[in-house]
Amino acid sequence: MAKQKGIIKLDGTIGDITFYKSQDGYLAREKGGVSGDRIANDPNFQRTRENGEEFGRAGKAGKLLRNSIRAMLQNASDSKMVSRLTQKMVEVIQADATNPRGQRNVIDGEAELLEGFEFNITGKLGTTLYAPYTSTIDRVAGTLAVSIPSFVPLNMIAAPGGSTHFKIVSAGAEVDFENETFVVATSETAVLPWDVTATALINLSNAVTANSTHPLFLALGIEFYQEVNGQMYPLKNGAYNALALVKVSGS
């Protein structure tokens, strides 16, 4: 793969070279490669088939997790989040020490590797919210909760320019990767002023199925607003909102 240089940018195919536009700019690549039939049947491509099966499984698992917290992702995600999450899911699957290559899966892998995953690179939770918090997952009770002691927003939140207010949001998701279903609960604070007034204690609790045997995911995020004539407007369509997985329980 090569980047196109020059004033004129091409889009299409000339001879064996395909020119196209991507998120990384205008690129060019040579046509060719191994036929799909050979990859599917040639013993020499056994590893390729195994990798492909696991990559496909990772993509499907990532989509299911995204769907479980889709309402929150609409306000906090970057353009490459899907590919980043898929790659992380590949790591989860590769940690499966039970099944042979090609049959490894998320259920027998290490879902805890997803803990700390940031859904929005342009607005990371780790560099936005500096107030200390505790995150807990009570599998028996089926509760996923975040507790944030009182803090001064102006000191503990790195808000983007133009912000006047913010809201803390949370979601707890129980994901059944085998049957492709999920249970999700969300909670949030009121819209709070970004100033020197200390907040009250914040407790956000999300209830899913008690005694669940499925992986549980706790997400925490922050959304920014600008007040204009008494109305609250999402800041830059959520480009700097943060959302991350702060706690994960695989089983």
**pLDDT per residue as tens digits for the range 86-101:** 999 999 999 989 998 8
pLDDT in tens, 43-52: 544 555 656 6
Identify the weakest region by mean pLDDT among 25-29, 120-124, 170-174. Answer: 25-29
Residue whose C-alpha is closest to residue 125's, from 76, 173, 82, 196: 76
The torsion angle over the Cα atoms of residues 154, 157, 160 and 165, rounded to 10 degrees, is -60
Short-list 79, 40, 82, CA closest to 61: 82
Please report which helix (H) or strand (E) contains residue 213, including its range: none
Provide CB contacts within 8 A for 105, sequence distance 6+.
57, 93, 96, 99, 177
Residue 158 pLDDT greater than 80, yes or no:
yes
Average pLDDT over residues 245-250: 96
Least confident of 65-69, 191-195, 208-212, 227-231: 227-231
Higher pLDDT, 22 or 164: 164
- For the entire predicted model, the pTM comes to 0.81
Q: Can you tell me which residue has the tokens 């407007």?
A: 233
- Contacts of residue 240, defined as CB under 8 A and 6 or more positions apart, other chains included, come to 120, 122, 123, 128, 160, 224
pLDDT, position 8: 54
Confidence of residue 216 (pLDDT cuts 50, 70, 90): very high
pLDDT in tens, 54-94: 888 899 999 999 999 999 998 888 999 999 999 999 999 99
Tell me the mean pLDDT in the region 145-170. Answer: 96
Q: Tell me if residue 89 falls in helix, strand or coil.
A: helix
pLDDT greater than 90 at residue 25:
no
Alpha carbon 137 to chain centroid, angstroms? 19
Residue appearing with tokens 């994901």: 175
- List the alpha helices (DSSP H) in the chain: 36-41, 46-68, 70-73, 81-94, 153-156
